Structures are given as structure tokens and as C-alpha cells.
Amino acid sequence: MIDAHVHVWTSDAVRYPRAAGEREYKPAQFTPADLFVHAKPAGVSRAVLIQMSFYRYDNSYMLDAMRAHPGVFAGVGIVDSKGAQPGQAMRVLAAQGVRGFRVTAGTGLDSDAMWSTGAAEGLAMCALVGPESLPVIDRMCTKYPDTPVVIDHLARIGATGTVRDEDVRLLCGLAKHRRVSVKASAFYALGRKQAPYRDLAPLIRRVFEDYGPRRLMWASDCPFQVEGGHSYAASVALVRDGLPFLGNEDKEWILGKTAEQVFFAPKKG
């Protein structure tokens, strides 16, 4: 099993300084060792590390964690989409095992330099967006059909507590683009925001029906999934036991194989 979305950071702000003006997060640190405490009992042996926002463009801690645990972690980095050479910055990180790059409505979502590099190098645009940004992704996917795209956290549909049908239609509409995948993740933050999260089953089913299991991947969004009374086990259990429309092969793809293909397979070229 692969957890397709995990953040790690350290309390050592001397060796790994945080960008000025970035807000603090709790816990004070969440290292790979802290992750393993939750992931290993659940049967999760690999994970995709997502660059923590307060490190901004300094991806050193994520890269050091990847080097310390070879084969265990893949990486999603952050580059300055408005810098002089974002494509070259992506290639430098790709040479160190990074397979995707976070983009948001304000940073990189419509960056031609990033999307064209993603198409050329097989590097995913990992979009942390709400449903209001899905039309931009539609436009960019039409322009760059060979760029892999991964949409985080079901496009945050249901973050307000309500799963709106028009938002689901926007997300499912992107399934027409063959390189788009979706993370079923961050269950603690969607819908009723209460385990066992089965109120999210209709949303996940609609996404599953349009994308299929080979373009859908599970992720926890740790450490946030294990804060505030939520648990790692409950996140896994929703996919493993709480979605009766999934067959065993579907679960194998969603709980591991899809993320493996996107983030752990050798990059293009």
C-alpha cells in the first residue's frame, strides 16, 4: 500500500529554516519516523511526500528524507512558477527523485513553463485547488494533453460540509482528459468530517465511476489526518472496508498501484 499524500517536517529550524512570513503548524514536527508509527500498522509501506508549504522553494528536508529511506518515498516539490526558469528547477528536482510539483490557483496552475515541462518529462502537476479552479485545469489539460495531473483531496469538494452536485460534475468532467488522476484523501476535512466518513461514499463512487480505479488513489494527508481525534486507521478503513462498490482489484489500484504508476515508476525519458 502507498499513501499518496503526506507532509513531513522537523523542529530543527536552524538546519531547515522556514520561509519568512509562513504560519506555524502543529505538531511541532512530523518526521518519517512519526509517519511510520501510523502507517506501518495499517500495512502502508511507501508514501509520497508533499513539500511542506512553510519551506516554500527549499525542498531540502523532503529530499533528505527521500535519501534517508531509498525506495520508500517519492516526492512532490514546489518551485517558483514565476521565477526565471521554473522548468529547469523542475528538472533539477526530478533528477533527485521528485515526480510531481504542487500547483495552486496562485502558483503555477496556469504556468505554461511548468505544464510544458511536465509534458516533456512526465512530471505531474499536483493541484491543490477547490472546485472553482477546475475550469482552469480543464483549459490547461486541453492545451497540454500529455501533462500528468493529480487533483488533491477530491478538489476539496465537501470542505464546507456540503457536497454540491455542480462541483462533482466539474470534477468528473475532467475525466475526459486521459492523464488526470484524483486523490481520494483528507477525509477528516470533507463532508461531516467524522469517522467512519461513509457520508463521502456517494462522492467517491461518482468519481470512481468516471475515472476508474486506475486513475484514483488513496491518501491520508498526514499529519492532519491524525490530529483532532481522527486516525490513520479510519482513513484506510473507508477504502478497504467502507465502499461496497469496490472490488478487490479496484482496492489494489486505489490503495497502491495507481500511486505507484504516477509517482514511483521511472519518469518519461
Please tell me whether residue 104 adopts helix, strand or coil conformation. strand
CA 262 to each of CA 29, 34, 149: distance values in angstroms, whole numbers, following the listed order: 28, 25, 9
Please tell me whether residue 159 adopts helix, strand or coil conformation. coil
pLDDT score for 265:
87
What are residue 22's phi and psi, to 5 degrees?
-75, 145
pLDDT band at 22 (very low <50, low <70, confident <90, very high): confident
Going from the N-terminus, what domains does the chain have, and what CATH number goes with each?
2-264 (3.20.20.140)
Take residue 129 and report the three cell numbers written for it: 485547488
- What pTM does this model have? 0.95
Take residue 4 and report the three cell numbers written for it: 499518496
* Contact predicate 101/79, CB 8 Å: yes
Q: Any residues with CB less than 8 A from the CB of 121 and at least 6 apart, and which?
A: 90, 91, 94, 267, 268, 269
Q: Could you give the CA distance from residue 125 to residue 127 in angstroms, rounded to a whole number? A: 6
> For residue range 116-159, what is the model confidence (pLDDT) as tens digits?
999 999 999 999 999 999 999 999 999 999 999 999 999 999 99
pLDDT score for 231:
97
